[in-house]
Structure 1
Amino acid sequence: MVYEERPARLDGAVLWTRTAPAPVVSAALVVPDGCMDLIWADGRLLVAGADTRAHRSTEAVARYAGLRFAPGDAPRILGVPAAELRDRRVDPADLWGDGTARRLAERIGTAPDPAAALEAYALRRAARTGPADPLTRAVAARLGAGRPVGETAEALGLGARRLHRLSLDAFGYGPKTLARVLRLQRALELVRTGLPLTEVAARAGYADQAHLTRDTRALAGTTPGAYARVSAEVSANSEIP
């Protein structure tokens, strides 16, 4: 089983693939990251909304290809507010109609590189919808860097209510949840480097290691130590959670 990622030509997006010799249920835990994905799985298309809790696939699939949008970017390209897809995996036919979804799935399924075909589709959509909202990008950047929600709203000239509405539409949840999710991602990236958990907690912005453990349990359904062990095991088999 092999998992690979590469930067997409769509700003901030990532193309990823996972292939196996035969259909298999992945052991990888999908942890909330503030992103939405357009996924092709053995001929079937789906849109994965932003998660507030860990997700584990229960379907046996041999070949995945996916486009992970930058946080806040998918709604303008896919044409649906992020909050409507929160914690959901949705058939694109429910968003765009059967004919459009079927034609897209066929085009991607017959392409030599399904991930590149997903990228091409997103680029065409992005060309029609225009550039990313700089305000949305600024919110994600500031919260991703660990800036407080109130400070972010003030720095960007947003009231609390407007920031909350913007966050629901762009990210699928409010700014406080987004800040927690992005802090968790900072922490897990450090965990994968092998740093001691006390140092991970300090660098990622947690009060202490116990705070890191509580938040990881709440959002990822596991502990930092268990995540580190599974991540090492999966990486050794060329699959990254």
Structure 2
Amino acid sequence: MYAERAAQLPHVVAWRTRVPPGAEVSRILPDGCLDLIWHDGTVFIAGPDTTAQLGTAPPGSRFFGLRFAVGTGPGVLGVPADEFTDRQVPLDAVLPAAEVRRLAGATDDPTAALEELARRRWREPDRVMVAVAAGARAGRPVGVIADRCGLSPRQLHRRCLSTFGYGPKTLARILRLQTAVALARRGRPFAEVGSTAGYADQAHLSREVKALAGVPLRALVG
């Protein structure tokens, strides 16, 4: 059973799940986010993914996490996002081992312990990079985003890597995928999904979904 709620910090979602008996492999789509996860007494960072990841764990496993919205996690951890791209990294590789042990031992309420850690280390997101993410989500060309944010294309790329874990074009592809999947899951026809999300045509939609998610869009809707 998966559940989530708004965390005590802005731009952060607290979530939890327990793996039921007979659970199928879960497909975790790239979303531009960074997660801090407690899993049965171990704590790790799940970085921003460029393609879907397949999640497997024994039945009964418990997961508690904080999902940091696009660009907000690196400030809390004090490490550039591209250090974690497509990786799961033990938290004690970033923070002091004693602090991580206390967090790992919070078996009664892992979410509260995760939120307290994030609260102590909270940094407000860079406003320029918030604007970059908004531009990418709106489908604006990279050159337009750079101009509006007062950055050269090279500066934009470098800052996107450290903030989001990948460059602006990849960020835009991933955010567009999230929009398309959300629309499809609300029952919108695929032709409408493609045009609304900003794909050139149905073939473009199909190629991009398969490349990023690993399966056709129809497999993500059921």
The answer, yes or no, to whether TM exceeds 0.5 is: yes
1:131 CA displacement: 1.9
2:114 aligned to which of 109, 114, 118: 118
Contact 1:26/1:57 (8 A) holds in 2:
no
Show the 5 A alignment for 1:224-235. Answer: 224-229=217-222
Show the 5 A alignment for 1:2-17. Answer: 2-17=1-16
- CA–CA distance in 2 between the matches of 1:5 and 1:145? 26
- CA–CA distance in 2 between the matches of 1:135 and 1:47? 25
Give the residue type in structure 1 aligned to 2:120. Answer: R
1:180 aligned to which of 143, 148, 173: 173
Match of 2:84 in 1: 85
1:195 CA displacement: 0.9
1:110 CA displacement: 3.4
Q: Is 2:56 aligned against 1:58?
A: yes
Range that drifts further, 6-15 or 82-91: 6-15
Distance 1:21 1:201, change over 3 A: closer
Match of 1:197 in 2: 190
1:59 CA displacement: 2.6
Match of 2:42 in 1: 44
1:26 CA displacement: 5.3
Show the 5 A alignment for 1:122-141. Answer: 122-126=118-122, 130-141=123-134
The count of corresponding residues between Structure 1 and Structure 2 is: 221
- CA–CA distance in 1 between the matches of 2:9 and 2:36? 13
Q: CA RMSD in A?
A: 1.5
1:215 CA displacement: 0.4
Give the structure-2-normalised TM-score. Answer: 0.94
Contact 1:25/1:57 (8 A) holds in 2:
no
Give the residue type in structure 1 aligned to 2:56. Answer: T
Give the structure-1-normalised TM-score. Answer: 0.87
- CA–CA distance in 2 between the matches of 1:218 and 1:64? 28
Q: Deviations over 1:41-90 (max 9, x none)?
A: 11111100000011012332521111000101111101111111100011
- CA–CA distance in 2 between the matches of 1:45 and 1:214? 35
The secondary structure found in structure 1 opposite 2:2 is: strand
Contact 1:14/1:69 (8 A) holds in 2:
yes
Structure 2 unaligned segments of length 5 or more: list them. Answer: none
Q: Deviations over 1:138-188 (max 9, x none)?
A: 111111122221111111111101100110000000010001000101111
Match of 1:236 in 2: none
1:142 aligned to which of 120, 135, 138: 135
